[in-house]
Structure 1
Amino acid sequence: MPRGTLEVILISAKGIDDNDFLSSIDPYVILTYRTQEHKSTVQKDSGSKPQWNENFLFTVSDSTSELNLKIMDKDNFTQDDFLGEATIDLGPLFEAGSLPETVHKVVKDEEYCGEIKVALTFTAERNEEYSVEDDNYGGWKESNEEF
């Protein structure tokens, strides 16, 4: 069971549907891992090609292996619009330790609607349990010489 820190570098998106009638969309991303959630900054008037270059950290404490990225359009006078989402399987990341910048499909209503680029790093928690190979462990060998 992996334990450690998941670092997500949110880089950019492209091909996102620019559905605002009078102006360009103002996209942001809600990143969710289990019950942990982070929100990127809003890219004002960036349209269908936003650039974020932001880092987010999540605590990994079990075998949940999906990261969800939900792309939203910030609206001032109405509810924010859902533009699409990407779900990333973290299984390969837990084995490799890091994945370079990778493009993931963004879908809405089961249809392709753009791409989002992220880089991922998993840093395993150091396990500092007792090790038999450690020469300085002490114990019966030292006490045996006294008898």
Structure 2
Amino acid sequence: MPQGKIEVLLVCAKGLDNTDFLCNMDPYVILTCRTQEQKSSVASGKGTEPEWNETFVFNVSDGVSDLTLKIMDSDTGSADDFVGEATIPLEPVFLEGSVPPMIYNVVKDQQYCGEIKIGLTFTAEERGEGGYGGQEYGTQDYSGETYGGWRESS
């Protein structure tokens, strides 16, 4: 299973359902990867076509299979409104290393309510092989003799 870091480039959203009837929405995104949660800035007054161009980094380990993006509308004086969400499978980025910015459907109550554009990059955690200089400790050296990992000098 992959271990490392996922970098998420949150680009923009389009065609979102407007939750504010009298003025433009102030959308933001809550990004969730398993137990890690991060929040974008609020795109004040950007309405149904916000742009963020922000980058977020998550640590990933065994069992992480998707990223959830929940779009919210920031409201002053009342609870923020839920606009919609997108669930992005991470398997393609684990296999390819990166996925260029792509559009994903945003849904609310199983209904399409806009789209969000994100890019993904996965950087695998380097797993050490042990030993020094590529040679494992306690294995045969080039002269064919082993001395607890140290070669006898001539």
| TM > 0.5 | yes
Equivalent positions of 1:13-28 (< 5 A) are 13-28=13-28
Tell me the secondary structure at the aligned position of residue 67 of structure 2: strand
- Partners of 1:18 and 1:38 in 2: how far apart? 23
Tell me the secondary structure at the aligned position of residue 101 of structure 2: strand
Q: Tell me which structure has the larger Cα radius of gyration.
A: 2
Tell me the secondary structure at the aligned position of residue 31 of structure 1: strand
- Partners of 1:30 and 1:138 in 2: how far apart? 50
Return the offset for 1:131.
6.5
- Partners of 1:60 and 1:35 in 2: how far apart? 10
Over the matched positions of the two proteins, sequence identity in percent amounts to: 54
TM-score by length of 1: 0.91
Q: Deviations over 1:24-68 (max 9, x none)?
A: 000000000001000000000101100000000000011321100
Equivalent positions of 1:40-119 (< 5 A) are 40-119=40-119
The amino acid of 1:113's aligned partner reads C
How many residues in Structure 1 have an aligned counterpart in Structure 2? 146
- Partners of 1:93 and 1:19 in 2: how far apart? 32
- Partners of 2:55 and 2:98 in 1: how far apart? 14
TM-score by length of 2: 0.87
Q: Which runs of 5+ in 1 are unaligned?
A: none
Return the offset for 1:125.
0.2
Return the offset for 1:20.
0.6
The amino acid of 1:40's aligned partner reads S
Q: Which runs of 5+ in 2 are unaligned?
A: none
- Partners of 2:4 and 2:16 in 1: how far apart? 32
Query: Contact 2:130–2:136 at 8 Å: present in 1 too?
Result: no
- Partners of 1:22 and 1:70 in 2: how far apart? 23
The answer for the alignment partner of 1:5 in structure 2 is: 5
